[in-house]
Amino acid sequence: MKSENVLLIFRSNIMYKPLIYRLSKDFDIIFNILEAKILPRREGRILLELRGEEDQLLKGVTFLEENRVVVEHLSDKVWREEDLCVHCGACTGLCPTGALSLVRPKMEVVFDVNKCVACGMCGLACPFGAMKDITLFDPFAEGRTVN
């Protein structure tokens, strides 16, 4: 079993098409909706955690892409600028999934991108701009679709 967090963008031409249930039905993928937003007639965005066998995950994502869903892998979109991080830990109290955590007793901050749900809290909390992230609602985020 492998787990991955993805951001799906449904453009206006496909946004009312039922597709996500097929992940479960055809590819045995367990999906967990982390966050979703629909701007009526413009765009729908959904943040999903996908769990399943590696080859099935790949097939599932390919299926979505064939159906013109934009699939962004969060692990490609969120990262830490290592040189900017001073390992203070300010982000660790706000990270909702434990993707950012302190390793004791050295008190160094580690970032596990696979746990990240791109909520954007770390970006607000970090005084040094070390967390490069997208958020579901940020209109200037990469991956934004224009009409």
Partner 1 sequence: MSQFKVKKTVAEINEKIKQGQAVVVTAEEMIGITKELGPVQAARKVDVVTTGTFGIMCSSGAFLNFGHAKPRIKASRVYLNRVEAYAGVAAVDCYIGAAQPREDDPLNKVFPGRFRYGGGHVIEDLVAGREVHLEATAYGTDCYPSRSHEARMKLKDFRDGFLFNPRNGYQNYNCAVNLSKKTIYTYMGILRPDCSNANYSTSGQLSPLLNDPFYRTIGIGTRIFLGGGIGYVVGPGTQHDPGVKRSENGVVMGGAGTIAVMGNLKGMSSKFLRGASITGYGCSLNVGIGIPIPILDEEMARFTGISDDEIFVPVADYGYDYPEGSGGPLTHVTYGQLKTGEVTIDGKKVTTAPLSSYSAALEIAETLKDWIRSGKFLLGEAQETLPSIAFEGFGD
List of residues contacting partner 1 (CB under 8 A): 86-94, 102, 104, 106-108, 121, 124-125, 127-129
* Nearest distance in Å: CB 129, partner 1: 7
Smallest gap from Cβ 138 to partner 1, in A, equals 13
Select 4 or 133, whichever has its Cβ closest to partner 1. 133
Q: Nearer Cβ to partner 1, position 127 or 143?
A: 127
Among residues 138, 113, 101, 8, which one has the least CA distance to residue 63?
8
Mapped onto helix, strand or coil, the DSSP state of residue 110 is strand
DSSP labels, 19-51: -THHHHHHH--EEEEEEEEEETTTEEEEEEEEE
Task: Name the nearest CA neighbour of 115 among 131, 101, 132.
Answer: 101
| Ramachandran class of 107: left when φ > 0, alpha when ψ lies in -120 to 50, beta otherwise | left
- Residue with smaller CB distance to partner 1, 16 or 128: 128
Q: How far is the CB of 2 from partner 1 (least distance, A)?
A: 28
Write down the least CB distance from residue 86 to partner 1, Å.
Answer: 5
Q: Residue 6 forms beta bridges with which residues?
A: 48, 73
Q: Which is nearer to partner 1, 51 or 132 (CB)?
A: 132
